Amino acid sequence: MKKRNLRKTVTGTALALSLTLTGFVGSVGAAETGDKVLQEMKSMTKSNFDVVWNKDTNVPTFVSGKLSSKPVKDVGEVKQYLNEKRDLYGLDPNSDLLFVKKSQDEFGMTHYEFTQSVEGVPVYGARFTIHTDEKDIVTAITGNVHPNAAQELDHNLKADLSEKDAILQAWKSIDLTKKETKVEKADKNALKESSNLPNSSVKNTAEKAELVVYSEKDTSKLAYHVELQFIYPEPGNWQIFIDAKDGSVVDSYNAVMDGATTGYGYGVLGDYKELNTYLSNGSYFLYDVTNPMSGVIETFTANNGTSLPGYRSVDSDNAFTAYSQGADVDAHAYADKVYDYFYNTFGRNSFDGNGSTIRSTVHYGSNYNNAFWNGQQMVYGDGDGSTFNPLSGALDIVAHELTHAVTDYSADLVYQDQPGALNESMSDVFSVFVEREDYLLGEDVYTPGTSGDALRSLSNPPAYGQPDHMDDYVYTSSDNGGVHTNSGIPNKAGYYTVNSIGVVKAENIYYRALTVYLSPYSNFSDTRSALLQSAADYYGYGSEYNAVASAWDNVGVY
Ligand code: D38
Ligand code: ZN
Ligand code: CA
């Protein structure tokens, strides 16, 4: 069904050009007169001359070179020029071509676009463009026209079918007439499911029909070009040509293309959000290619196992609305939020500053009450339902985990003793910078049955079993030297800092310390000095510097 173009490039001699025409089968007479026109055009060309022929229609689909000896300056002159080339294209520019538009580009070229038509009905795909250079010399003529279309139709351009009938025939032809009602039902459900949807057209079902001349090889038919677009029960962008006389299917294909899409879903807490997804082979994946990174943001599910990364999170209709998909939805959306935070605030492109892929796996294990960065990716348990809800449901937890990755690629603080507690504290402090709503960590998913509690607090570490002063530093061999305990001390210094100079100045100072001044074995005192130096770099030796100094004085670190 598809037409094939015969490509032959002629560079230089007229001999090569006539070879092109000799090797060419079809209506010899037309080709001969066409040959004369081409020879004429060729004689004007001093450099490259290029012709591509359409074997079915016996007309060139691409001619380039210096194609006019005189300037061709407007639509009228273009038509006059084409009239002189009538033998080549077999078209009368006044009756067979409809002018569509004229446009200019940054090369100083002008493009006159026409579409072939028969008694006012457009020939499908028969766009015909004349290109002129900055001196108005014709330099290319492009497009597929069908010189015999008018003759083949023989003035028979009255449709027997209505547009409505054509659309009905089209639905029937793809065997979705029954599913048509399903499409509507699915859309209504989507609406009902989510009265808080900001945009109810996300499922986007559309149908339209246009009367065209459908030409291929030596037959032309009056047909409706019907487009059926939907995503239920599978993605479709059907292009169907229905014979306008007898209702038969002339051509039909699904033009759905793989690529970036926007889906939606509900998070762990039932909140609606849009998702950057990817359509491949008829399925939608939590795979975000929309950020200016070399990698992607991608989300997997371990399906309650412990193999990593597990399976790609996938959905058949780009609506990640099932209850069990909440963890997947939030891991994906929040990873993007944290990526955006580091990129927009500090210009850091992903955790490594080099645009690397951010991968998350949810539904890790069974009733697993934790989340972690394993050195390569983020991993989230579902929680047991009473201690925790799925942990990706908290933006501050996602920020905590991804900051571990940032730390690994910057200060690289060793995960033991004071450097380990600082590593933990950086994750907690940046989780407050990202979420910007409280000094608590994990409150959104911790103990769903109890309100107001959390896992840790920057402002009140002792309330969560952590020291907030060096006097209470815990010496232990468990938890790598109490990294999740002693982080309370630098956390409280972080709280004092934010509380005193505000989050914007604080985040600048902390990010600079983490990425410029700290190193793997930095201890609490080193960190005080690193933060002071960063404060001085940014704001001089004023109130900001003094705020950092008192913050660390207050926790007994000098
Ligand atoms: C509290 C309770 C039960 C289990 C846990 C905590 C309870 O109250 O009954 C386990 N847990 C979770 C956390 N800490 N302990 C919090 C998470 C954060 C990010 C919300 C956390 N995870 C560690 C981290 O990222 O540093 O801090 C993961 C450490 C890796 C462990 N192998
Ligand atoms: Zn941590
Ligand atoms: Ca919080």
What pLDDT is attached to residue 256?
Answer: 84
What pLDDT is attached to residue 71?
Answer: 97
How far apart are the CA of 439 and the centre of ligand 3, in A? 6
Which residues contact residue 368 at a Cβ distance below 8 angstroms, ignoring those fewer than 6 apart?
381, 382, 383
Residue 183 has pLDDT above 60, yes or no: no
Residue 2 has pLDDT above 90, yes or no: no
Question: Which protein residue's CA is at the shortest distance from atom 9 of ligand 1?
Answer: 387
Q: Note the Cα 313 to chain centre separation in Å.
A: 17
Return the higher-pLDDT residue of 255 and 362: 362
Residue 20 has pLDDT above 60, yes or no: no
Q: What is the mean pLDDT of residues 135-150?
A: 95
Distance CA 38, CA 60 (A): 10
How far apart are the CA of 433 and the centre of ligand 3, in A? 10
Instruction: Determine contact, residues 248/256, Cβ cutoff 8 Å.
Output: no
From the CB of 400, is ligand 1 less than 6 Å away? yes
Residue 225 has pLDDT above 70, yes or no: yes
Which CATH number, 3.40.50.300, 2.60.260.20, 1.10.10.10, 3.10.170.10, labels domain 158-399? 3.10.170.10
Residue 146 has pLDDT above 60, yes or no: yes
What pLDDT is attached to residue 30?
Answer: 53
From the CB of 554, is ligand 1 less than 6 Å away? no
Q: If you count them, how many residues does the chain have?
A: 558
Residue with tokens 């955006």: 340
Q: What is the mean pLDDT of residues 356-369?
A: 98
Residue 238 has pLDDT above 80, yes or no: yes
Residue 181 has pLDDT above 50, yes or no: no
Q: What is the mean pLDDT of residues 487-501?
A: 99
Return the higher-pLDDT residue of 429 and 231: 429
Q: What is the mean pLDDT of residues 279-297?
A: 95
Distance CA 288, CA 357 (A): 10
Residue 28 has pLDDT above 70, yes or no: no
Question: Which protein residue's CA is at the shortest distance from atom 14 of ligand 1?
Answer: 370
Question: Which protein residue's CA is at the shortest distance from atom 32 of ligand 1?
Answer: 372
Query: What's the pLDDT tens digit per position in 295-307?
Result: 999 999 999 999 9
Residue 340 has pLDDT above 60, yes or no: yes
pLDDT > 90: what percent of the chain? Answer: 81
The active-site residue, picked from 131, 484, 507, 544, is 484
What confidence category does residue 190 fall into, taking pLDDT thresholds of 50, 70 and 90?
very low
Which one-letter amino acid corresponds to residue 270?
G
What pLDDT is attached to residue 33?
Answer: 78
User: How many separate helices (H) and strands (E) can be counted in the chain?
Assistant: 15, 24
Strand 311-312 versus strand 297-301 pairing type: antiparallel
Residue 9 has pLDDT above 50, yes or no: no
DSSP 423: H
From the CB of 426, is ligand 1 less than 6 Å away? no
From the CB of 397, is ligand 1 less than 6 Å away? yes
Distance CA 557, CA 37 (A): 90
Which CATH number, 3.40.50.300, 1.20.140.10, 1.10.1200.10, 1.10.390.10, labels domain 410-558? 1.10.390.10
Residue 348 has pLDDT above 70, yes or no: yes
Which of 24-33, 166-175, 544-553 is the least confident region? 24-33
Is 484 among the residues known to form the active site? yes
Q: What is the mean pLDDT of residues 64-84?
A: 95
Query: What's the pLDDT tens digit per position in 201-224?
Result: 324 578 999 999 999 988 999 999
**DSSP reduced 3-state for 294:** coil
Instruction: Determine contact, residues 440/429, Cβ cutoff 8 Å.
Output: no
From the CB of 356, is ligand 1 less than 6 Å away? no
Residue 16 has pLDDT above 80, yes or no: no
Residue 1 has pLDDT above 60, yes or no: no
What pLDDT is attached to residue 160?
Answer: 97
What pLDDT is attached to residue 177?
Answer: 47
**DSSP reduced 3-state for 157:** coil
Q: What is the mean pLDDT of residues 275-280?
A: 96
Q: Where are the alpha helices (DSSP H) in 159-206?
A: 163-173, 177-193
Closest CA to 216 of 6, 91, 57: 57
Residue 75 has pLDDT above 50, yes or no: yes
What pLDDT is attached to residue 168?
Answer: 92
Instruction: Determine contact, residues 147/57, Cβ cutoff 8 Å.
Output: yes
From the CB of 369, is ligand 1 less than 6 Å away? yes
Two tokens, residue 47: 């450099």
pLDDT > 70: what percent of the chain? Answer: 89
Return the higher-pLDDT residue of 231 and 327: 327
The domain locations on the chain are 14-153, 158-399, 410-558
What pLDDT is attached to residue 176?
Answer: 64
Instruction: Tell me the CA distances in angstroms from 19 to 32, 34, 231, one per residue in order.
Output: 13, 14, 50
> Could you tell me the sign of the dihedral formed by the alpha carbons of 458, 464, 470, 473, in that order?
negative
Query: What's the pLDDT tens digit per position in 89-100?
Result: 999 999 999 999
Which residues contact residue 443 at a Cβ distance below 8 angstroms, ignoring those fewer than 6 apart?
394, 396, 452, 453, 454, 455
Q: What is the mean pLDDT of residues 11-15?
A: 31
400, 434, 455, best to mutate for ligand 1 pocket (most atoms within 8 Å of CB): 455
Question: Which protein residue's CA is at the shortest distance from atom 28 of ligand 1?
Answer: 372
Instruction: Determine contact, residues 400/441, Cβ cutoff 8 Å.
Output: yes
Q: Where are the alpha helices (DSSP H) in 436-487?
A: 479-486
What pLDDT is attached to residue 235?
Answer: 77
Residue 79 has pLDDT above 80, yes or no: yes
Instruction: Determine contact, residues 113/107, Cβ cutoff 8 Å.
Output: no
The active-site residue, picked from 146, 225, 298, 401, is 401
What confidence category does residue 175 fall into, taking pLDDT thresholds of 50, 70 and 90?
confident
What pLDDT is attached to residue 184?
Answer: 40
Residue with tokens 């697993």: 368
Query: What's the pLDDT tens digit per position in 381-440?
Result: 999 999 999 999 999 999 999 999 999 999 999 999 999 999 999 999 999 999 999 999
Instruction: Determine contact, residues 81/72, Cβ cutoff 8 Å.
Output: yes
The reply to whether 410-558 shares the fold of 158-399 is: no
Instruction: Determine contact, residues 380/361, Cβ cutoff 8 Å.
Output: yes
What pLDDT is attached to residue 43?
Answer: 85
**DSSP reduced 3-state for 251:** strand
Return the higher-pLDDT residue of 179 and 290: 290
Is 163 among the residues known to form the active site? no
Instruction: Tell me the CA distances in angstroms from 154 to 89, 216, 251, one per residue in order.
Output: 19, 16, 22
Residue 3 has pLDDT above 70, yes or no: no
Query: What's the pLDDT tens digit per position in 527-547?
Result: 999 999 999 999 999 999 999
pTM comes to 0.76
Instruction: Tell me the CA distances in angstroms from 69 to 43, 73, 347, one per residue in order.
Output: 10, 13, 55
What pLDDT is attached to residue 236?
Answer: 84
What pLDDT is attached to residue 48?
Answer: 82
Which residues contact residue 2 at a Cβ distance below 8 angstroms, ignoring those fewer than 6 apart?
none
Which of 169-173, 253-257, 476-480 is the least confident region? 253-257
What are the φ and ψ backbone dihedral angles of 447, each rounded to 5 degrees? 35, 75
> Could you tell me the sign of the dihedral formed by the alpha carbons of 76, 77, 81, 83, in that order?
positive
Mean pLDDT for all residues in the chain = 89
Strand 297-301 versus strand 358-364 pairing type: parallel
